[in-house]
Structure 1
Amino acid sequence: MKKICMDECEKQGSLMDKNHVLSVRELNLAAKQLIEGGLPLLWVRGEISNFVSAASGHWYFSLKDEQAQVRCVMFRHKSQYLEFKPSNGMQVEVLALATLYEARGDFQLTLEKMRPAGLGALYEAFEHLKNKLEAEGLFDAGRKRDLPLLPKQIGIVTSPQAAALRDVLRTLANRMPNVPVLLYPTPVQGEGAAQKIAQAIRLASQRAECDVLIVCRGGGSIEDLWAFNEEVVARAIAASHIPVVSGVGHETDFTIADFVADLRAATPTAAAQAVVPDKQELRQRLAQHRQRLVRAVARRFEQGMQQVDFLQHRLVHPAQRIRQQGERLEALQQRMRFAHDHAMQRQQGRWSMLWHRLRGARPNLARLQEQQSNLARRLNGAMLQTLDRHDARLTALRQHLQLLDPKQVLARGYSMVRDVQGNIVVSSDSLELGEKLDITFAQGGVHAVVQEKHEPNSD
């Protein structure tokens, strides 16, 4: 990091030097850094001209007013989220970063967002409410409900004078004319329209007269469709107990109601097509299911006939089965008789062998008694010899112990000297003058104090 800062300082210093000759790339790079560092992200308003949509999905155009123009680029990862398609002559407001394309030295704006001019406040309110409801989970796919396959009654929330109502009714009549339709009339534009739309949705949910509810109106400007961007309508759709289909505006129009509804249809006609199946398609599907059912029954019948043939080949006449079982029983009896005879012969042979072994193992009692008498005599003699040997050894040990007895040594005139700790004193080197000693004689003892020491080798 320190090296990079030093390099930047050196570059700035070299640019400030009037004698330094810059390359074109260095000049463009310096201008790029000055522009991007000096201008923040900002909103710019103007008219679109020379609009080009590249195959890559990037948009290139010029933004101009009466006195100037500037090149603009909006890359695909930003433009794909735009809810309208820009065109030449359209007045727009763009949120962009001023930059310089150094390869050609072109000053341009790199766009982050775009909105029609004059509708900035509405779009900001739209985005704010959209982000709020999305954070609450009202747009989650998990809370959206499936539409009934064959609704018994369909509810419509729209204006009775709306062209969208005629389109919806005509589509429903063409696709499924026998399904009744219930209209919840409400204005879809103007002051107070949002509250009345929400009230109609809540009324339909409370009455529960319909299996599915269509909320629709025709196309128009963002101001015309704004009632469907109000929070009160979004809350009413989210709280509805009936699945709601939103068919507001044209294909390119998106409202908050579209995101909250269980299904968003591109147009009111598409909403009508979504809630009921086409009777012709149903007939075709029924015919297909009938053909599949007939083929399945035929296959099952054929499989049953094959299974009957197979079982018929396996079926045996009862007399033949009894004869087979009798032959098998006779064979088993012969095998059992042979096994029994063989087992008896083998057992008799084993008993005979054990009898001979038992007779051979019978003991000679007279010889065993004589051996027992001899062993008793030998045991008595050995015991006497052992006792004599141990008595002699005990006498020798007693005499040896008497010789080692310290009292015998003391009886010959010797004495035993201990210090105050009870240790035997064998040398005067370990004694100090005035130290107390304990002297033991053959009979009795005395306590003494060292008054004089002699060297061990002195006379």
Structure 2
Amino acid sequence: MANIITVTALNRYVRSLLESDAVLTDVAIRGEVQNFVHHRSGHFYFSLKDETCSVKAVMFRSNAARLSFEPENGMSVVVRCRVSLYERDGAFQVYVEDLFPDGLGAAQMAFEQLKARLAKEGLFAPEKKKPLPAFPHRIGLVTSKSGAALHDILSVAQRRWPAARFLLAHAGVQGREAEDELAGAVQRLDAEGQVDVIIVARGGGSREDLWVFNGEKLARTVYACRTPVVSAVGHEIDYTILDFVADLRAATPTAAAELVLPDGPALRAQVVQLREKARALVLRRLQMCYNEYHALSSLSAYARLPRRVEQAQQQLAAAKETLRGAVGRSAAQKSEQLSRAAALLDSLSPHRTLSRGYCAALKDGRAVRLREELSPGDRLTLLFSGFGARCTVDKITEGSLPDEEKTEL
């Protein structure tokens, strides 16, 4: 005769079987949302259904809060979950840890939901947009170091404003991890305060490729920036959540560079035009004076007016000197400002620091600044002026090295 067990023991045993199955502890399921309930506790309760079957699902508040949209009945989704049994009711169900729209229609619905919610919160308000600086000295770039967007922006800068300097914060521009990388790069550039404007850029791609720029985390990070942010994602017809929350939207990375950087050749042409206009005004004034002189010379009373002519000549000479001095002072002032700016930029160059005998220590491609970033056995790259070296950390000391390990420089 079979052993007699309690219902509790049965349910507990079945639950243990399900949770011990390696396949069922992390499985992805595609299905249609049915009977969706957003409980006041914050949990999501719903069923996943396909053509013939359905299964109950629950998504706890901690996981549901990370979604940028709310599922709706009829939405096609893919869930990542574990399979178990609700022991009290003997209910077979899946516990959802992550949920994604499946297909363009569901993705577009999620996009519209997030867009409406952020707009209601005021993240797209025009009065919140920060103006771009007219002459930025340093520009932060958030993009892939191997992407075409970086090349396009640097090409425009070389043509329009070669004096511009760029600080690249590399980040992935597609994939599941890309949003965290993009948000982190923007946050670092803003916190360091070394750039006047930040460009978040990516070249063209499919809507799926650009979907990472619709993330809520990235949108809120950009909104919280003190530094103006320019969105330069995709092609002219592509719009993302980032475009709406950024201080300025550029149709392409090339257009972003043209909007951020002043047009150097056009400014030089304008200076030449102003100089020619000033010269024409002086010549016109001289012509007027000559005409007055010629008219006076034909009068019979000319003999009594030599003093007036002399005074007019003196006034003309004074005006010419005043104009010449003003032009000279203005040119000298602009030249001095340019020299100071060039000297400041040169003093900030890392190459200048390295040329004085210093070196920079890099770990995994990033500069080492804090004691906590190093451990014995770490592999470091040392950058000197014109060469580099690889080394391994032997030990780490607080303060200066012991006397026996010091080397006279």
TM-score normalised by length of structure 1: 0.39
Question: Quick check: which one's helix share is greater?
Answer: 1
Q: TM-score, normalised by structure 2?
A: 0.44
